[in-house]
């Protein structure tokens, strides 16, 4: 797909999905009422992980230099996708004014659906299991799966439900227990060209967000938009491992990074135009946390293409690794707890997922969201 073809398709798709508040189709504005997260206790350093890698060909792999990742949180069996999602949902509710029975919808968005260790359970759905454990007895439940863009896709769905008056509030949740991909990769990576090298960047986490109808005049979510460039769907694939626990993932990392960098400026420009903003109006841009080097290179290309940069590009991958669909809210909460994101700041969450799926969520932080978080990890 050429650049011009991509631009035309994205413009048409995103304009069709978003409508200004006040129209018959979208009379309301949604906002984030609260966010929460659950992190495993154990910190696995890159040095510890790489000590288990069997190098048989070429020079030693310096993963820390290549990615900038110092450590990541991983479950040693005490957490799984379900417990991480449930813990994040409970944390989110504690920081909100809502009771579980107030929730009208619960959407689960994780790639992994492990319960009781490394057992993938599709039925009952993860959303139903989380809602039942919370006591959200009045909530409609369903799962959404969209690779690393899953949680922001859930935000897109619930945002639209609130904007159109279908519901007043709902919960989006995800728990990713993906560190076994790294453990498995360590048994098979032999050199820097290995297609399992990207698996060594992964960490575990759970996140949750409550969206609600914003009061009149209160800032909220400006827009949510996604597009899929399916030509690149085979650049990252995963499937159950035959002999190893869990799964294995195979990524053509350089090719994926190249096509993403080529398309992101076009898509980000479309999102900003729809919102009437310039890139310099964004106080904090939180991209998908893949590696420090990839984020910096990608933002350099964005700056060159758009002529300027956001005021701040958030990087937390150095301490949490790539936590798949949970990465944006892990980073958002980190920055709010540190006092770096404050009420009135405009934030862009930028999804980049296998598929190739690219999406943007633009919103303004308010007192209620920030007020739920102090320096209390």
Average pLDDT for residues 184-204, to the nearest whole number?
A: 91
Phi, psi (5° rounding) for residue 101?
-70, -10
- For residues 375 and 248, the model is more confident at 248
Indicate whether 376 belongs to any domain.
no
Reference 293, options 71, 65, 49, 73; nearest CA is 65
Say how far apart CA 368 and CA 377 lie, in whole Å: 18
- Give me the pLDDT at residue 229, please: 82
pLDDT, tens digit, 9 for 90 and up, residues 118-168:
888 888 999 999 999 999 999 999 999 999 999 999 999 999 999 999 999
Count structural domains, the chain: 1
**Which segment, 5-9, 127-131, 240-244, 353-357, is predicted with the most confidence on average?**
127-131
- Give me the pLDDT at residue 58, please: 65
Least confident of 88-97, 260-269, 328-337: 260-269
- For residues 109 and 377, the model is more confident at 109
Indicate whether 21 belongs to any domain.
yes
Indicate whether 377 belongs to any domain.
no
Average pLDDT for residues 62-82, to the nearest whole number?
A: 95
- For residues 235 and 81, the model is more confident at 81
Average pLDDT for residues 50-60, to the nearest whole number?
A: 77
Q: Residue 57: pLDDT band by 50, 70, 90 thresholds? A: low
pLDDT at 334 over 80: yes
Least confident of 80-84, 111-115, 350-354: 350-354
Average pLDDT for residues 294-314, to the nearest whole number?
A: 91
Indicate whether 371 belongs to any domain.
no
Q: How many other β-carbons are positioned within 10 Å of the β-carbon of residue 376?
A: 6
The upper half-sphere exposure of residue 72, i.e. CA atoms within 13 Å in the direction of its Cβ, equals: 36
User: How does strand 284-287 pair with strand 247-251?
Assistant: unpaired
- Give me the pLDDT at residue 201, please: 95
pLDDT, tens digit, 9 for 90 and up, residues 265-277:
888 888 888 888 9
Decide: residue 367, CB within 10 A, 0-12 exposed, 13-18 middle, 19+ buried. Answer: exposed
Helix (H), strand (E), coil (C) string for 254-307: HHHHHHHHHHHHHHHHHHHHHHCCCHHHCCEEEECCCCHHHHHHHHHHHHHHHC
* Residue 347, H or E segment: strand 346-353
Host domain of residue 38? 3-365
Say how far apart CA 315 and CA 163 lie, in whole Å: 31
- Give me the pLDDT at residue 4, please: 31
322: Cα separation from own chain's centroid: 9
pLDDT at 365 over 60: yes
Q: Residue 348: pLDDT band by 50, 70, 90 thresholds? A: very high
Indicate whether 174 belongs to any domain.
yes
- Give me the pLDDT at residue 14, please: 46
- Quote the percentage of the chain above a pLDDT of 70: 91
Average pLDDT for residues 8-22, to the nearest whole number?
A: 41
Indicate whether 375 belongs to any domain.
no
Write down the mean pLDDT value for the chain. 88
Which residues have C-beta within 8 Å of that of residue 175, sequence separation ≥ 6? 38, 80, 81, 82, 83, 84, 85, 86, 87, 88, 110, 112, 126, 205, 206, 326
Q: Residue 59: pLDDT band by 50, 70, 90 thresholds? A: confident
Query: Given the structure tokens 């892990």, which residue do they identify?
Result: 330
Reference 260, options 295, 308, 224; nearest CA is 295
Average pLDDT for residues 348-377, to the nearest whole number?
A: 86
Phi, psi (5° rounding) for residue 267?
-70, -40
pTM: 0.91
pLDDT at 315 over 60: yes
Cα dihedral sign, 15-30-87-69: positive
pLDDT at 207 over 90: yes
Indicate whether 372 belongs to any domain.
no
Query: Given the structure tokens 């920081």, which residue do they identify?
Result: 95
pLDDT at 24 over 70: no
- Give me the pLDDT at residue 56, please: 61
- What CATH number is associated with residue 142? 3.40.47.10
Say how far apart CA 80 and CA 73 lie, in whole Å: 13
Say how far apart CA 203 and CA 85 lie, in whole Å: 14
């Amino acid at each position: 797909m050429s650049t011009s073809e991509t631009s035309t398709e994205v413009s048409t798709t995103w304009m069709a999905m978003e409508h200004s508040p006040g129209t018959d189709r979208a009379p309301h504005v949604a906002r984030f009422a609260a966010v929460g997260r659950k992190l495993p206790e154990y910190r696995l350093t890159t040095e510890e992980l790489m000590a288990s890698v069997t190098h048989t060909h070429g020079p030693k792999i310096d993963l820390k230099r290549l990615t900038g990742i110092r450590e990541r949180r991983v479950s040693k069996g005490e957490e799984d996708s379900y417990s991480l999602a449930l813990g994040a949902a409970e944390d989110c509710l504690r920081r909100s004014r809502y009771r579980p029975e107030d929730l009208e919808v619960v959407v689960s968005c994780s790639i992994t659906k492990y319960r009781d260790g490394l057992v993938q359970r599709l039925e009952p759905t993860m959303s139903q299991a989380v809602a039942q454990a919370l006591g959200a007895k009045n909530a409609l439940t369903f799962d959404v799966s969209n690779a690393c863009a899953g949680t922001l896709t859930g935000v897109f769905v619930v945002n639209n439900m609130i904007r159109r008056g279908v519901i007043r509030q709902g919960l989006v949740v995800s728990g990713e227990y993906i560190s076994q991909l790294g453990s498995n990769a360590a048994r098979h990576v032999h050199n820097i060209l290995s297609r399992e090298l990207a698996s060594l960047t992964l960490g575990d986490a759970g996140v949750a967000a409550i969206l609600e109808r914003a009061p009149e005049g209160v800032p909220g979510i400006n827009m949510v938009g996604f597009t899929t460039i399916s030509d690149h769907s085979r650049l990252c694939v995963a499937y159950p491992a035959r002999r190893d626990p869990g799964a294995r993932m195979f990524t053509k990392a350089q090719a994926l990074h190249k096509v993403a960098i080529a398309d992101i400026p076009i898509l980000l420009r479309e999102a900003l135009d729809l919102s009437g903003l310039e890139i310099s109006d964004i106080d904090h841009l939180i991209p998908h946390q893949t590696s420090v080097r990839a984020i910096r290179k990608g933002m350099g290309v964005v700056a060159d293409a758009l002529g300027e940069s956001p005021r701040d590009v958030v990087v937390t991958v150095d301490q949490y690794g790539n936590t798949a669909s949970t990465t944006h809210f892990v980073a958002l909460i980190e920055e709010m707890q540190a006092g770096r994101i404050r009420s009135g700041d405009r934030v862009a969450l930028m999804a980049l997922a296998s598929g190739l799926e690219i999406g943007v969520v633009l919103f303004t932080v308010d007192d209620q969201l920030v007020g739920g978080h102090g320096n209390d990890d």
